[in-house]
Copies of this chain bind each other. A is one copy, B any other.
Amino acid sequence: MVSVDAVLLDIDGVLTIGEEPVMGAVDAVRWLRDEGIPFRLVTNTTRRSRRSVAARLGGLGFAIPETWCFTPAMAAVSRLGEMDASACHLIATGDVHRDFEEAGIELADGEAPVVVVGDAGDRWTYDSMNNAFRLLVGGARLIALERDRCWRDAGGLALSAGPFVAALEYAAKTTAEVVGKPSPAFFRLALTDLGVPAGRAGMIGDDVETDIGGARSAGLVAVLVRTGKFRPETLAKAPVAPDRVIDSIADLPALLERGV
């Protein structure tokens, strides 16, 4: 039994499902704040800026400061800083570009030292793929905000960034650096902000690969919820087992009170 000093929470499938909060999730988050247990949100969404993520949560009853929300775009900005890159060619949708612009990263249509790829929906065209490919062949590096296979929209399964990342890797004979979950660097970004070492923090997620596998690689205590994309057969086949499994985020207060 480990007692944790802070927690990281996934959003989709843990706090929310579609455009509804998970039952008990609003109370669980309020409990964390009331108890003074530090937490941050780590989401793999690449269709919204940090500001939009916080605004959406606010609309669903979660009062969470924008600066507590960590997205792959934040991780990419951090990585671009490490690489001394002041510009990138971004393929993403929604208002994700804001996170780059507000960090002073120039978004280049043409030449750029780095191609950053997210979930881009209709922005994927033969031309946009070719543009990215030509930059990569010219020596640009490839950063993937995430490399999920698909997500479920109203019309059924829809492709995420992963297949397009795989296409560009194949075309340019390169390997993308994934900055979203399950990259340990992404978890560390949120932990650094919390000022808590990985071994004293818990990660609560619904994805056995990105949340649980990633958290374990980063040294966190990994807690799987049985909501969102949870499926018993996926858990049975998971290469990395969670430290704990709870029915939903509503059970988090009890878990933390008795020790994870």
Contacts and interface: CB of A to CB of B under 8 A. Distances in A.
Interface of A: 120-127, 129-130, 133-134, 137, 149-150, 156-159, 162-164, 166-171, 173
Contacts of A167: 159, 163-164, 166-167, 170
Given A133-B150, A149-B170, A149-B171, 11 more contacts: A122-B127, A124-B125, A124-B126, A129-B159, A130-B157, A130-B159, A133-B157, A133-B163, A159-B167, A162-B170, A163-B171
* This chain: copies in complex: 2
A104 to B, nearest CB: 30
Contacts of A162: 170-171
Nearest to A150: B171
Contacts of A122: 125-127
Nearest to A120: B126
Contacts of A125: 122, 124-126
Given A124-B125, A125-B125, A158 B130 contact: yes
A150 B173 CA distance: 11
Contacts of A134: 156-157
A144 to B, nearest CB: 12
Contacts of A166: 166-167, 169-171
A156 B138 CA distance: 12
A120 to B, nearest CB: 8
B133 A124 contact: no
A173 B55 CA distance: 35
A130 to B, nearest CB: 6
